[in-house]
């Protein structure tokens, strides 16, 4: 075999290897990104469900399941804490930390929420005179929450802790060996060629929407977002979308609230997860090899391409967004949404 033939064979082999790597990487990104998006969305859904379960409540006054085991790294350290409620260890302390602060009062007193549910207004103190005030105190003494009344209020800080914990647990498959350092010494979850920085994931926005189910337009939108027929909430077996006709559960005929099922609230959750892609083939090494040799072959190059001594692999962490309602502000590029609701 001549030298020329040998070089042709080597070049052909390198081209095949590079093209194979490119195809494999493209397929991996296409397939894994879809799965990754679904798993991230599931982590958010599970976090909302866990928050709504209120596992910290017991009959003893001591907090129940208020914490989970920490998610640990390959080196045994704690990656994400399972203490969702911080240092609070009693049922009352956890309840007061969520429903005794300004965030809850601001939400309950907002124009979209206040005036729709007498029970929520009593609990929050929006309606506090006479019997309403006494009812609200009774609710607080028994640790009643809007969730117990079918209104999905979420505490953003607690929800974010649950989201991060679920995200790391789900993507690592509870295998701490999958949580290791990147090239910059930052811990992340290594998942099929992706690096997911679950400990930096954020709940960026909670958007509450209230629907008057006696209004056809609201009923239609509620149905489109939840696939629940509002007409069926009144006991109708009809499958067509229709408005809800309240005729029971008048809380107080003198209060003007009427049937609490007339209004439905759902919450849209927007989240942001830092992600970087490292690949599953030697593609990175191939690019580095080509780059180093190309830079060396052109001494004195003064263009925009740095010398090999200054070369750095791109370590920036792009943002991976999703969630929220259709046509909302700040909705990310991922065509998916996370909507939580409660059916009474």
- pTM passes above 0.75: yes
Count of domains for the chain: 1
Which one, of 83, 38, 47, lies nearest residue 267 by Cα?
A: 47
Helix or strand (DSSP H, E) at 119: helix 118-124
Cα–Cα distance for residue pair 99/122, rounded to 1 Å: 13
Let me know: does 166 contact 43? Beta carbons within 8 Å: yes
Q: Which residues pair with 322 in a beta bridge?
A: 271
Q: Tell me what the pLDDT averaged over the chain comes to.
A: 76
Let me know: does 78 contact 173? Beta carbons within 8 Å: no
Instruction: Name, of 61-75, 107-121, 227-241, the range with top average pLDDT.
Output: 107-121
User: What does DSSP say about strands 194-196 and 187-191: parallel, antiparallel, or unpaired?
Assistant: antiparallel
**pLDDT tens string 106-162:** 999 999 999 999 999 999 999 998 999 999 999 999 999 999 998 999 999 999 999
pLDDT of residue 231: 77
**pLDDT tens string 253-301:** 556 787 788 889 999 888 888 887 776 666 655 555 554 554 444 333 3
Q: How many CB atoms lie within 10 A of CB 314?
A: 9
Kindly give, in sequence order, each residue whose CB lies less than 8 Å from that of residue 161, ignoring residues fewer than 6 positions away. 81, 83, 84
- DSSP-derived letter for residue 259 is B
Let me know: does 91 contact 140? Beta carbons within 8 Å: no
**Domain ranges, residue 56:** 3-341
């Amino acid at each position: 075999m001549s030298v020329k033939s040998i070089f042709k064979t080597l070049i052909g082999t390198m081209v095949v290897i590079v093209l194979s790597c490119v195809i494999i990487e493209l397929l991996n990104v296409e397939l894994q990104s879809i799965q990754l998006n679904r798993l991230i969305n599931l982590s958010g859904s599970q976090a909302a469900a866990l928050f709504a379960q209120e596992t910290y409540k017991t009959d003893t006054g001591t907090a129940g399941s208020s914490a989970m085991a920490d998610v640990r790294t390959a080196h045994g350290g704690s990656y994400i804490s399972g203490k969702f409620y911080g240092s609070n260890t009693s049922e009352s302390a956890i309840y007061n930390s969520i429903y005794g602060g300004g965030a809850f009062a601001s939400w309950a007193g907002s124009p979209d929420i206040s005036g729709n549910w007498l029970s929520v207004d009593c609990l929050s103190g929006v309606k506090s005179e006479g019997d309403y005030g006494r009812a609200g105190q009774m609710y607080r003494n028994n640790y009643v929450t809007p969730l117990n009344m079918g209104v999905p209020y979420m505490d953003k800080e607690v929800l974010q802790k649950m989201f991060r914990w679920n995200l790391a647990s789900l993507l690592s498959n509870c295998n701490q060996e999958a949580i290791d350092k990147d090239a910059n010494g930052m811990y992340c979850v290594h998942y099929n060629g992706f690096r997911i920085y679950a400990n930096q994931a954020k709940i960026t926005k909670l958007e509450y929407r209230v629907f008057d189910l006696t209004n056809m337009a609201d009923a239609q939108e509620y149905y489109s977002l939840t696939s629940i027929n509002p007409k069926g909430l009144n006991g109708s077996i009809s499958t067509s979308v229709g408005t809800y006709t309240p005729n029971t559960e008048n809380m107080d005929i003198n209060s003007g609230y009427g049937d609490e099922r007339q209004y439905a609230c759902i919450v849209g959750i927007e989240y942001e997860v830092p992600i970087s892609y490292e690949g599953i083939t030697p593609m990175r090494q191939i690019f580095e090899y080509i780059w180093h040799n190309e830079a060396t072959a052109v001494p004195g190059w003064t263009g925009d391409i740095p010398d090999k001594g200054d070369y750095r692999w791109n370590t920036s962490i792009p943002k991976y967004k999703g969630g929220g309602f259709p046509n909302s502000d700040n909705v990310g590029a991922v065509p998916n949404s996370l909507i939580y609701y409660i059916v009474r």
